[in-house]
Amino acid sequence: MEKTDKLIVTPQDFKLPESLELDCGKKLDNVVLRYETIGKLNADRSNAILICHALSGDAHVAGFHSVDDKKPGWWDEFVGSKKPIDTDKYFVICSNVIGSCAGSTGPRSINEATGKMYNMDFPVITIRDMVRAQKYLIDELGIDKLLAVVGGSMGGMQAMEWAINYPDRLLSCLPIATTSQLSPQSIAFDWVGREAIKYDPNYNEGNYSSDLPPSNGLSTARMLAHITYLSDESMLKKFGRSLQEKDDYSFNFNRDFAVESYLEHQGQRFVERFDANSYCYITRAMDYFDLAARHGNDLTNAFEYCKNVKFLVVSFSSDWLFPTSQSIEITRALIKNEVEVSFCEIESSYGHDAFLLEIDALGEMVSSFLDNVMQKGEA
């Protein structure tokens, strides 16, 4: 691609006009959200789509930050001109969640009250808190009603929180490869990942130096999590039992297999771009996510006020982290509320990561759904 052909996107910061009240009972002051937009808002402000990112994502959903930038946004194949979420038609917004380390206020931000980093003094947050902060941004942009809120994985959790808490502020909701509550197994994986971070010698109860972070712990947490994003079939196809740059076993405990080398590489890359405290806070927010618990332990009750929101629920056949059964549960709860909902399980061998990789199958579905919502409008 020629440099002149690159879509250049500029990150922007928005400071909330007031303190953010949190589910934990505390308030968070001077909250900043990092966000990016692509496309143009039409005259009646009816073409805006909010994309919510997953655990390790950020506001950089598509495009490049400069002509020399080699790495595009995390959903670049899916969002842009003539792509499934077509920015020639739609005004796309993506904001970094609170608690993150990618521009929005999080545990490594400076607490203006003390002049020091929050670290573990940062309040525990929830998925709903993330959405509360996003609503301030949408208000600031002057958008009364979003055409859609779209998200995969943790992004899908945010999308559903939007529909449940602000049903009059969006026309449609697209929860993809997600769940209405984190399972005990998923909570267990998160716990082990955080324990790896906490027991890293550099962690220092969350007060680690920027020059000496708990890299080993965070890398281990990422390797563990990354396994859950794949499927047995995809790992078999990609690695099998192939050895990494050797002809025989080493007969020691260094890496022998290609899959071991791959995971080590993923862990190292993650340490270069993510913060350990943010990882702890965001995974805890996911642990606490349970739509039914807030509504008498009945998921149907959770969607009671979503009757005017159209839903597209998508799962992937090999996703064992958030399996299809969990998407079916969401769909059934919507049907019981007489909500207009479409559901599809896409056959894929990619596991949970399929929402980032099955561009053609998912893209055709999402594109058609959004076109339909746009054409019908509020009717």
User: Is 319 among the residues known to form the active site?
Assistant: yes
Q: Is 168 a catalytic residue?
A: no
Dihedral (C-alpha) 151, 152, 157, 161: value to the nearest 10 degrees? 10
Estimate the crossing angle of helix 154-165 against helix 127-140, to 10 degrees.
70
Query: For the CA atoms of the chain, what is the radius of gyration?
Result: 21
Place of tokens 């980032």: 356
Distance CA 6, CA 115 (A): 39
Provide CB contacts within 8 A for 103, sequence distance 6+: 11, 13, 32, 33, 34, 58, 59, 96
- Enter the tokens of residue 243: 């050895």
Rounded Cα distance between 107 and 122, Å, is 5
- In 194-237, the DSSP E strands lie at none
31, burial (CB in 10 Å: exposed 0-12, middle 13-18, buried 19+): buried
Q: Which two tokens stand for residue 63?
A: 């495009």
Pick the catalytic residue from 153, 278, 318, 348.
153
- Catalytic residue from among 58, 95, 352, 353: 352
Q: Which of 319, 327, 349, 353 is catalytic?
A: 319
Asked about 65 being catalytic, the answer comes back as: no
Report, as residue numbers or ranges, the catalytic residues: 153, 319, 352
